[in-house]
């Protein structure tokens, strides 16, 4: 299987492989959607540091971790009645609601459940019971913390909505505001047992890396890799104003590799699809530039020890989506992404098994050499 030459066509021999997907309510949910055809052992580990829009209002008033991405992931993968799914996504609109104008009902529901039960963890458990998602949806942490960023000029931005703000110096690093934050125990357990760990797509710093900086996460990923798991970064299709202005595909991969730790990222799944020109121009007017993979970038990514799987992964629809206080982007096609990830999982499992088999004679010799 050539990891640098295009779509993978090797059939995975590990249909029941355990997958953990890091990200937000859109990117991670898309990955999990696509993998439903290949495995039923799916877990989403979702960022909870969003502080803008509807989620930010609920957080500030009701003192809970960000519920929005969790809500969206639960609904996207839900097997519940369509009316219930639509209700969770419905936004209350009235000028009399003041700061709650436009708030998603599901965000209020999760916050109310947390208040009623005394536990944000219990709120997620009960919402999962009602929505019956095809994956286990878990918060990366239960801590009500915030994401911060040090910029290249030395200044610091506090809270996610400021970290992703426009017209500021580039982001140097991101970190959590509070000390003592711990990753959610069940999320760590799922990561350690995973055969495939996917990272992204989604806002690079405020969603994807926001998961990786939670203490305990990268250690759990390293433990999973030590027992043979594959790690895959599903690269974004465009730059994002305020976060990755001027970034290349290599820059995205390098940031993820840096936060995971040396040698911990195995693959980068990159879309080579190019949307119609009018779509490219529309996004360009909004400051989003389509990312392309050059031979030079391929070489540089390889020098990081990361193998590239490149294929057309974008969805066919070119219609603009009207989102609530959020930019539209060029989205991945879940089925195409799921197919490639399943192939990576199968090929990687075969490689690990082959290496273990090759090492077995040496292991037996070493055992025999040990004095009784």
pLDDT tens across 287-343, in order?
A: 999 999 999 999 999 999 999 999 999 988 656 655 555 667 889 999 999 999 999
Would residue 204 count as lying in a domain? yes
Would residue 77 count as lying in a domain? no
The answer, yes or no, to whether residue 170 has pLDDT greater than 60, is yes
Question: From residue 342, how far is each of 12, 14, 34, 222, 257 by CA, in Å?
Answer: 6, 8, 9, 21, 21
The Cα 231–Cα 53 span in angstroms is: 31
Q: What does the pLDDT read at residue 364? A: 63
3-state secondary structure of 85: helix
Would residue 72 count as lying in a domain? no
Domain of residue 187, residue span: 19-47+140-369
Cis ω for the linkage preceding 20 (within 30 of 0): no
Say if CB 217 and CB 184 are below 8 A apart. no
Would residue 255 count as lying in a domain? yes
Would residue 81 count as lying in a domain? no
CATH number at residue 218: 3.40.50.10680
CA torsion, ordered 231, 235, 241, 243, to nearest 10 deg:
20
Would residue 126 count as lying in a domain? no
3-state secondary structure of 127: helix
Would residue 113 count as lying in a domain? no
Q: How many domains does the chain have?
A: 1
Would residue 283 count as lying in a domain? yes
Q: What does the pLDDT read at residue 321? A: 57
Say if CB 19 and CB 194 are below 8 A apart. yes
* Whole-prediction pTM: 0.91
């Amino acid at each position: 299987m050539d990891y640098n030459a295009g779509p993978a066509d090797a059939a995975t021999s590990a249909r029941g492989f355990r997958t953990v997907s890091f990200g937000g309510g859109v990117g991670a949910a898309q990955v999990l959607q696509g993998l439903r055809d290949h495995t039923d052992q799916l877990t989403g580990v979702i960022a909870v540091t969003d502080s803008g829009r509807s989620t930010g209002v609920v957080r500030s008033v009701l003192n809970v971790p960000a519920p929005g991405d969790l809500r969206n992931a639960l609904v996207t993968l839900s097997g519940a009645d369509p009316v219930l799914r639509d209700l969770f996504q419905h936004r209350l609109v009235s000028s009399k609601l003041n700061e709650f104008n436009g708030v998603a009902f599901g965000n209020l529901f999760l916050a109310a459940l947390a208040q009623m039960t005394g536990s944000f963890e219990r709120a997620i458990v009960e919402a999962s019971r009602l929505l019956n998602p095809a994956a286990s949806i878990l918060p990366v942490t239960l801590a009500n913390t915030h994401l911060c960023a040090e910029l290249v000029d030395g200044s610091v931005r506090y809270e996610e909505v400021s970290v992703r703000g426009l017209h500021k110096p580039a982001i140097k690093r991101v970190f959590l505001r509070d000390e003592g934050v711990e990753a959610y125990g069940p999320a760590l357990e799922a990561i350690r047992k995973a055969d495939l760990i996917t990272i992204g797509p989604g806002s690079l710093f405020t969603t994807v890396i926001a998961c990786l900086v939670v203490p305990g996460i990268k250690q759990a990923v390293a433990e999973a890799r030590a027992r043979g798991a594959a790690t895959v970064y599903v690269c974004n299709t465009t730059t994002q104003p305020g976060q990755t202005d001027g970034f290349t595909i290599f820059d995205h991969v390098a940031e993820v590799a840096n936060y995971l730790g040396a040698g911990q990222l195995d693959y980068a799944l990159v879309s080579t699809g190019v949307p119609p020109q009018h779509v490219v121009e529309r996004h360009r007017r909004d400051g989003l530039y389509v990312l392309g993979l050059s031979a030079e970038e391929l070489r540089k990514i390889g020098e990081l020890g990361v193998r590239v799987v490149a294929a057309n992964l974008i969805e066919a629809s070119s219609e603009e989506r009207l989102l609530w206080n959020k930019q539209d982007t060029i989205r991945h096609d879940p089925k195409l992404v799921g197919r490639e990830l399943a192939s990576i999982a199968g090929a990687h499992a075969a490689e690990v098994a082959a290496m273990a088999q090759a090492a077995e004679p040496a292991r037996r010799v070493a055992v025999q050499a040990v004095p009784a």
